[in-house]
Amino acid sequence: MAKSICTRVLLILFSSVFLFSCGKSNMCESDGMAYVMSQKYVKNHLKSPSSANFPHAPISSSYLGSCTHVVTGSFEASNSFGAMMRSTYKVTMKYNEKNRTWSGSDLTID
């Protein structure tokens, strides 16, 4: 019984910390969220977006200020012939605090 209560208290504590850390002000500076949203942006520019696989972490992610990040990452996706190819990308991601949306620009895929 005591173990169950302790587990519940820890779960509530961690949930509160997670929700607090996902607030509007932290979203702007979140390299992790910039990476996740960069994956979505890159997929929208692929011929076979459903085939794309991304690693758990980017190659690099830099916060430039003003809710802007430069993300460099890698992925594997099918090309026009159906062969899986590994590529790298670099994209600028910007978070709009008013609309709570992310947008990408300056995408390069090598």
Q: Is residue 11 part of a domain?
A: no
Give pTM, 2 decimals: 0.75
**42-98 confidence digits (pLDDT tens):** 999 999 999 999 999 999 999 999 999 999 999 999 998 999 999 999 999 999 999
Q: Is residue 14 part of a domain?
A: no
| Structural domain harbouring 56 | 24-109
Mean pLDDT of 13-22: 42
Answer with the residue of higher pLDDT: 99 or 23: 99
Long-range contacts of 63-71 (CB under 8 A, 24+ apart): 63/29, 63/31, 63/34, 66/94, 67/28, 67/29, 67/94, 67/95, 67/96, 67/97, 68/92, 68/93, 68/94, 68/95, 69/31, 69/34, 69/93, 69/94, 71/31, 71/34, 71/35, 71/38
Q: What was the pLDDT predicted at 55?
A: 97
Q: Is residue 3 part of a domain?
A: no
Q: Is residue 53 part of a domain?
A: yes
Q: Is residue 81 part of a domain?
A: yes
Q: What was the pLDDT predicted at 25?
A: 57
Q: Is residue 5 part of a domain?
A: no
24, pLDDT greater than 50: no
Q: Is residue 49 part of a domain?
A: yes
Domain count within the chain = 1
Answer with the residue of higher pLDDT: 26 or 30: 30
Q: Is residue 80 part of a domain?
A: yes
